[in-house]
A and B are shown apart, each in its own frame.
Chain A
Amino acid sequence: MSPSQVPVDAVQGALAAEHAAIWVYGVVEAFAPGALNGQLEEAATAHQARRDATERVLTDAGVPPVPPEPGYLTPEPVTDAASALRLAITAESDAAAAWRSVIERSPAHLGLRAAALDALTVAALWATRWRARAGTSPVTVPFPGAPA
């Protein structure tokens, strides 16, 4: 894709959300029940792959990718499985919002839109899974990634 068409700010926002999600899954794994380890690992691996791909998009556009933050403030202290799952839901919701923003700012027919739609959809699927696991109702939202 033409580097000049890449909405750099939005893509940097998506990369920052991926960095945050990777950090979050490290925290969640420490508190969630062992039965979830496989799924947590799968989610974390997906975010790492997305982070790498997003860094390549920025590098190809001649822009230095934003680095991860040394740490992140969580909306609430993570002390148990329930609060850990809520944090995972927050991370996926943030990723969904960041990728939706990439879609909104990308020109039509740009390959980046397809990649962003995939990222938004995967984030929505994980958020739904964690809501179901946490016993939250409803487990779906009508517009994943939409500003509240």
Chain B
Amino acid sequence: MLIPRQTPILARWPTVSEAGPTRRRVLAAAATLSVAGPAALTGCTLPVRIPEVPDPLESPARRAEADATQASTVAQLAAGADPALAAAARALATDRRTHAATLRAELRRVRPRPAPHSASPPAAPQPATPELTSARGVLAQAVRAAHDEAAGLVMTLPGYRAALLASVAACCATHAALLS
């Protein structure tokens, strides 16, 4: 902002005689500081704990890993008895393993190392080995749940991640269709 020239700037400053720091004022200020200072400083230096919010991709990454493991197990179980199911399970395992790898890569890109104060994420639960008779339904249910989780995240995540999860959701929908 331009200051109008006709108003001399210095003219508006208080003169030393009316408001300048007198010896008494300086001492009073110092006394106040010596009381308030340490308390204020302690307040400032308390360790600030920023709560470690889990990355929203952590859950779909772990789910993809669990699904891949489960699908691989089913593929082995069904190999002789139900070749069509074995093929579907193998394809599912391959795609879910690819999802897990890509989601993990994105997680590492954002947080190259786990934060020192964060608890290590709990290990992915080992999915139960389904009976062969119910295996198709179990895999279909798991992949539908994966679809729903990914589709939900599409609405909230920023562009690149939303697109990534959209592809995961679409892929899960194709497997759900093949398994039903």
Contacts and interface: CB of A to CB of B under 8 A. Distances in A.
Interface string B94-123: 110011001000000000000000000000
Contacts of A139: 91, 174, 178
The CB with the most chain A CB atoms within 10 A, among B98, B154, B169, is that of: B154
A138 B91 contact: yes
A142 B159 contact: no
A103 B162 contact: yes
Interface residues of B, number: 28
Nearest to A129: B177
Interface in B129-180: 151, 154-160, 162-164, 166-171, 173-175, 177-178
B89 to A, nearest CB: 12
A143 B175 CA distance: 12
Contacts, number: 90
Contact of A120 (B94, B99, B170, B175): B170
Contacts of A108: 155-158, 162
A104 B91 CA distance: 27
B167 A120 contact: yes
Nearest to A123: B170
A125 B173 CA distance: 7
B57 to A, nearest CB: 14
Given A104-B160, A140-B95, A114 B155 contact: yes
A142 B170 contact: no
Interface string A108-147: 1100011011001101110010001000001111111110
Contacts of A105: 159
Contacts of B157: 108
B155 A146 contact: no
Nearest to B159: A104
Contacts of A117: 151, 154, 166, 169-170
26 contacts: A103-B166, A104-B159, A104-B162, A105-B159, A108-B155, A108-B157, A108-B158, A113-B154, A117-B154, A117-B166, A117-B169, A120-B166, A120-B170, A123-B170, A124-B170, A128-B178, A132-B178, A139-B91, A140-B178, A142-B99, A142-B171, A143-B167, A145-B163, A145-B166, A145-B170, A146-B163
Interface of A: 96, 100-101, 103-106, 108-109, 113-114, 116-117, 120-121, 123-125, 128, 132, 138-146
